[in-house]
Structure 1
Amino acid sequence: MTTATTAPATTGQPLLELDGLRKEFGTRHTNVAVAGVSLQVQEGETLALVGESGCGKTTLTRLLLGLLDPTAGSVRFDGRDLATLTAPQLRAVRRQMQVVLQDPYSSMNPRMRITDIVAEPLVTHEPEARGRRARARNRERVGELLEAVGLDAAIQDRYPHEFSGGQRQRVSIARALALRPRLLVLDEPTSALDVSVQATVLDLLADLQRQLGLTYVFVSHNLAVVAQVADRVAVMSRGSLVEVGEAATVLRTPQHPYTRRLLDAVPVLDPRKGRRAARRAAAPTGEAGR
């Protein structure tokens, strides 16, 4: 199936570049939500963006998706500065940057059938996907997307409330893949799911990344999940990046006091084992039992 086997060509340069990115809100009393963030995301990697609530993660992801205009600095996608693009050019770039939100239920219209939910990006961005004549072709494409995320193509006429949280999140992922993007921003994609379901969704995301050559920006506060999925970690505090590095290095030997506090806050039955558990989770395969 084309949807699940075609990987995008790589360019040899960072897919996403943030340079001195700053975002301020307010006029009389300015609130700095993002303060001079510079970061590169390589094509095909998973970069985890971690930090406590209110640290600026959500604002940063909206900036990199082009949903907010920065106060200063720039966002470059595949070498192109988003601020310099015309409206049609920006629309074309946005096809390649999709998002999977934390709560799959609230991100769907409960009155829409699954077939229309998954096909919505196609109808929005592709003129040939609009109108009655395109409906049969859209259903075929939606069926392929649903099967790619482990769901039965026959569920298309059902509604979101008829599915479990894990199934709804798979539908959200299918929708995000509809336009064959290169970058997925995964905003706490498993935090609303049961632990057992989290594992299956993470496995699915890993499989899709291998098959499609996707690049992930994975936003999370769960360091156990981050240790499982991330190639690199960027730690954010009060709008700034305080530590960036390889996931195993950052989680095993954190350099910044804030990162150490995050690791110490990992919930375990025995608090004395918290740091040890985080280090085991971040260890390369074969080292965890040493």
Structure 2
Amino acid sequence: MTTGTVTRTQATTPVLLELVRLRKEFGTGEVNVAVDDVSLEVHEGETLALVGESGCGKTTLTRLLLKLIDPTAGSVRFDGRDLATLSTAEMRGVRRQMQVVLQDPYSSMNPRMRISDIVAEPLVTHDPAARGRRARARNRERVGELLEAVGLSAGIQDRYPHEFSGGQRQRVSIARALALEPRLLVLDEPTSALDVSVQATVLDLLADLQQRLGLTYVFVSHNLAVVRQVADRVAVMRRGRLVEVGNAATVFRTPEHPYTRQLLDAVPVLDPRRGRRATERVPATGEESR
């Protein structure tokens, strides 16, 4: 694994999330190793992009760092605390600080629930004071604030998910993720289901929220054009292992690992001579290292 230049964010901020030699195996007979000896740090206030082709282990790694599944070996530390050592009550407190925005906002919402109940769901789940009839007015006020924070009207609370566009639903998902005032957001392909023009507005929103709220992002994507736009650092994953980690500008300009070069070479580019998309591939040299 190679590392690039240390970013300003790394140099001036503490580590919020640390993955230490994580390994995840599935199966009992023929074992499938989905994540293999992954160590990684995410610093407060930065955007770390996790990239790689489908099946490389990105989703499994994010499930591990959110403690949705347990590792076969290794550890996940959030703000210096090993998640495996926390009690159920302590883990509930940590879960308030780490939230996720999924790829398909519609499938992550109950179509029978109103927007007010969808956005307030984390509050009701984690805060006893947000439950019951007496809390409804306070919850609606909070939901209105969250909706306005993501560029939506507070007046949409009584509508249902099917009444909105994909971009608007993703904004609702982001509002829900912000309800508990988290420190870390895991963004799992948050724009891949959206039109290109809508992608840009959602990315702008995420950048604005990060600046205003001091959020830390783990941005999972296979779209390198998007990653180039949003990431401070990039971690490249292949077959369950990290093959390159570094400053985003450095990785895109001078990738060191053959697989990283292959990913970059596979990005379609506009050929002005023919007025259509063409793919320029440069053969990767050297043997792949593990």
Whether these two folds match at TM > 0.5 is: yes
Task: Identify if the C-alpha distance between structure 1 residues 274 and 128 changes in structure 2 by more than 3 Å, giving closer, same or farther.
Answer: farther
- SS state at 1:251 partner: helix
- SS state at 2:61 partner: helix
Partner residue of 2:147? Answer: 146
Partner residue of 1:234? Answer: 235
Instruction: Kindly provide the amino acid, as one letter, of the partner of residue 70 in structure 2.
Output: D
For residues 36 and 76 of structure 1, the distance between their equivalents in structure 2, rounded to whole angstroms, comes to: 15
Task: Identify if the C-alpha distance between structure 1 residues 50 and 193 changes in structure 2 by more than 3 Å, giving closer, same or farther.
Answer: same
Instruction: Kindly provide the amino acid, as one letter, of the partner of residue 234 in structure 1.
Output: A
Task: Identify if the C-alpha distance between structure 1 residues 45 and 233 changes in structure 2 by more than 3 Å, giving closer, same or farther.
Answer: same
| Pairing 1:20–2:18 present | no
For residues 130 and 280 of structure 2, the distance between their equivalents in structure 1, rounded to whole angstroms, comes to: 54
Instruction: Kindly provide the amino acid, as one letter, of the partner of residue 87 in structure 2.
Output: T
Q: Deviations over 1:45-90 (max 9, x none)?
A: 0000000000000000000001010000000000000000000001
Q: Say what the alpha-carbon RMSD is for the aligned residues.
A: 1.2
CA shift for structure 1 position 268: 2.2
Would you say the 8 A contact 2:265–2:279 is kept in 1?
Answer: no
- SS state at 2:24 partner: strand
Partner residue of 1:285? Answer: none
Would you say the 8 A contact 1:184–1:216 is kept in 2?
Answer: yes
Q: How does 1:264-279 map to 2 (within 5 A)?
A: 264-270=265-271, 271=278
For residues 198 and 83 of structure 1, the distance between their equivalents in structure 2, rounded to whole angstroms, comes to: 36
CA shift for structure 1 position 230: 0.1
Partner residue of 2:94? Answer: 93
Q: How does 1:79-158 map to 2 (within 5 A)?
A: 79-158=80-159
For residues 63 and 197 of structure 1, the distance between their equivalents in structure 2, rounded to whole angstroms, comes to: 30
For residues 202 and 63 of structure 1, the distance between their equivalents in structure 2, rounded to whole angstroms, comes to: 25
For residues 132 and 24 of structure 1, the distance between their equivalents in structure 2, rounded to whole angstroms, comes to: 45
For residues 243 and 251 of structure 1, the distance between their equivalents in structure 2, rounded to whole angstroms, comes to: 11
Q: Deviations over 1:83-108 (max 9, x none)?
A: 00000001100110000000000000
- SS state at 1:235 partner: strand
For residues 269 and 46 of structure 1, the distance between their equivalents in structure 2, rounded to whole angstroms, comes to: 28
Partner residue of 2:226? Answer: 225
Structure 1 spans left out of the alignment, 5+ residues: 1-10, 276-290
Would you say the 8 A contact 1:268–1:274 is kept in 2?
Answer: no
Would you say the 8 A contact 1:22–1:71 is kept in 2?
Answer: yes
For residues 140 and 73 of structure 1, the distance between their equivalents in structure 2, rounded to whole angstroms, comes to: 42
Task: Identify if the C-alpha distance between structure 1 residues 91 and 273 changes in structure 2 by more than 3 Å, giving closer, same or farther.
Answer: same
For residues 124 and 272 of structure 1, the distance between their equivalents in structure 2, rounded to whole angstroms, comes to: 48
CA shift for structure 1 position 218: 0.1
Partner residue of 1:175? Answer: 176
| Pairing 1:187–2:149 present | no
CA shift for structure 1 position 252: 1.0
Partner residue of 2:261? Answer: 260
Instruction: Kindly provide the amino acid, as one letter, of the partner of residue 33 in structure 1.
Output: A
Would you say the 8 A contact 2:233–2:247 is kept in 1?
Answer: yes
Partner residue of 1:284? Answer: none
Partner residue of 1:48? Answer: 49
| Pairing 1:164–2:142 present | no
- SS state at 1:157 partner: coil
Partner residue of 1:243? Answer: 244
For residues 73 and 251 of structure 1, the distance between their equivalents in structure 2, rounded to whole angstroms, comes to: 30
Would you say the 8 A contact 1:46–1:216 is kept in 2?
Answer: yes
Structure 2 spans left out of the alignment, 5+ residues: 1-11, 272-277, 283-290
For residues 125 and 138 of structure 1, the distance between their equivalents in structure 2, rounded to whole angstroms, comes to: 13
For residues 270 and 107 of structure 2, the distance between their equivalents in structure 1, rounded to whole angstroms, comes to: 33
CA shift for structure 1 position 274: 7.5
Normalised by the size of structure 2, how large is the TM-score? 0.90
For residues 208 and 176 of structure 1, the distance between their equivalents in structure 2, rounded to whole angstroms, comes to: 12
Equivalenced residue count is 265
Partner residue of 2:79? Answer: 78
Q: Deviations over 1:222-250 (max 9, x none)?
A: 00000000000000000000000000000
Would you say the 8 A contact 2:97–2:180 is kept in 1?
Answer: yes
Normalised by the size of structure 1, how large is the TM-score? 0.90
Partner residue of 2:62? Answer: 61
| More helix by percentage | 1
CA shift for structure 1 position 175: 0.1
Partner residue of 1:204? Answer: 205
Task: Identify if the C-alpha distance between structure 1 residues 272 and 63 changes in structure 2 by more than 3 Å, giving closer, same or farther.
Answer: closer
For residues 29 and 135 of structure 1, the distance between their equivalents in structure 2, rounded to whole angstroms, comes to: 51
